[in-house]
Amino acid sequence: MEPAWWHWVVFGLALGLAELAAASFFVIWFGLGALLVGVILLLAPGLGVSTQILLWTAASVAMTVLWFRVFRRDAARTRAGQADAALGEIGVLVRDVQLLGAESGRGEVRFQKPVMGSDVWPCVADEAIAAGGRVRVLAVDGQLLKVGKC
C-alpha cells in the first residue's frame, strides 16, 4: 500500500503538534517537509514510496539547513565583544549605590539607549551615589558595570 497525499498531510500536522509539545524548533521542518510531499502528491499522484521518502528527507534537510545556516546566522553571536563599546557611556542611577563598609556598593543604572543589549544594568561604585545621579561606565566586570560620578 502506497501512502496517499492525505497520509503525508496528517503526518506533517502530527509533527507540527509534536513541535508545539517539544518546543525544540527542529521537528517543525520535518513536519513542513511532510506537508510539502502531501501537496506534491496531490498535484502529481503516482510517485513511488521510495521517491516520496526521498523527497520528504531532502525537503526536511533543506529547510533545516536554510533555517539554521541562512536565516538564523546571528544566533551564535554573543555580546562579549561589545564590552568595550560600553566604556564611557553615561547613564542615570535608578537605585542608589550605598557603600557597605570598605566594599563597593551596588546599584542599578539606566541608559538612554541600550548598552550591550539592555537599557538597565546592575552596577557597582567605589563611592555612594544617590538615585537620579549621572554616572559614567568605567569598566565591565561580567554582568556588572563599574561606574563613577560624572
Residue 25 shares a structural domain with residue 61: yes
**In a shared domain, residues 19 and 50:** yes
Q: What Rg do the C-alpha atoms of the chain give, in angstroms?
A: 27
The grid cell for 5 is 497525499
Question: Burial code of 20-38, b = ≥16 C-beta within 10 A, e = fewer?
Answer: eeeeeeebbbbbbbbbbbb
pTM for the model stands at 0.51
Instruction: Place 82 in a pLDDT band, splitting at 50, 70 and 90.
Output: low
Q: What percent of the chain has pLDDT over 90?
A: 59
Domain residue limits at 52: 5-76
- Per the prediction, the chain carries an average pLDDT of 88
Q: Are 88 and 47 part of one and the same domain?
A: no
Which residue, of 32, 60, 76, is where some domain finishes?
Answer: 76
Overall average pLDDT of the 43-47 stretch: 92
How far apart, in whole angstroms, are the C-alpha atoms of residue 41 and residue 106? Answer: 64
